[in-house]
Amino acid sequence: MKNNRQSILNLSVVVFLLLMMGCQKKLNESIESKEKINVLWLVAEDLGPYIPPFGDSTIKTPHLSRLAAEGVRYNNVFSVSGVCSPSRAALATGMYPSSIGAHHMRTLYQQPAAKKMGIINYEVVLPAEVKMVSEILRENGYYTTNNAKEDYQFFPSQMAWDESSNYAHWQNRPIGKPFYSMFSFMVTHESSLWNPVGKIHDLEVFPPAREMKSWWKQFENKFLPLVDEDLPVVIPPYLPNTDKVVNDVRRMYSNISRMDDHVGNILTQLEEDDLLENTIIVWFTDHGGPLPRQKRLLYDAGLQVPMIVRYPNKFRSGEIDNRLISFVDFAPTLLSMTEIKPPEYMQGLAFEGKFKVADERKFIHAAADRFDETYDMIRAVRDKRFKYLKNFQPQKPYYLPLAYREKMASMQELLRLNLIDSLNEEQALWFRKTKPNEELFDTHADPHELNNLAEDPQFSGILSELRRECETWMHDVSDMGHIPEQELINTFWPDKIQPLTANPVLNVENGELQITCQTEGASIGYKRLQDLKEGLGWQIYTAPIGVDQEEPILVIAHRIGFAPSDTLQWN
Q: Tell me, what amino acid is at 383?
A: D
What SS3 string covers 231-267?
CCCCCCCCCCCCHHHHHHHHHHHHHHHHHHHHHHHHH
* In contact, 242 and 418? CB cutoff 8 Å: no
Nearest to 162 by CA among 143, 141, 147: 143
Surface-to-core class of residue 211, CB atoms within 10 Å of its CB (0-12 exposed, 13-18 middle, 19+ buried): exposed
Distance of CA 492 to the CA centre of its chain: 24
CA dist 418 → 389, 424, 431 (Å): 24, 9, 8
Q: How far apart are CA 361 and CA 445, in angstroms?
A: 22
402: left (phi over 0), alpha (psi -120 to 50) or beta: beta
Say how far apart CA 229 and CA 413 lie, in whole Å.
20
Element (H, E) at 38: strand 38-44
84 as an active site residue: the answer is yes
Give how far the C-alpha of residue 474 lies from the chain's centroid of Cα atoms, to the nearest Å. Answer: 22
User: Which residues touch 187 (CB under 8 Å, ≥6 apart)?
Assistant: 45, 200, 201, 204, 224, 255, 258, 259, 262
CA 557 to chain centre: 27
User: Cβ(38)–Cβ(339) under 8 Å?
Assistant: no
3-class secondary-structure state, position 69:
helix
Answer for the pair 502, 565: CB distance below 8 angstroms, yes or no. Answer: yes
CB neighbours of 8 closer than 8 A, spacing ≥ 6?
Answer: none
CB 301 within 8 A of CB 54: no
Catalytic-labelled residue, pool 23, 84, 470, 517: 84
Q: Which residues sit opposite 73 in a β-bridge?
A: 308, 320
DSSP track, 176-214: T--EEEEEEEGGGSTHHHH-TTSPPPS-SS---GGGHHH
In the beta sheet, which residues pair with residue 554? 527, 569
The contacts of residue 207 (CB under 8 Å, 6+ apart) are 215, 265
> Can you count the helices (H) and strands (E) in the chain?
16, 19
SS3 7: helix
**Whole-number Å distance between alpha carbons of 414 and 154:** 34
List active site positions: 84
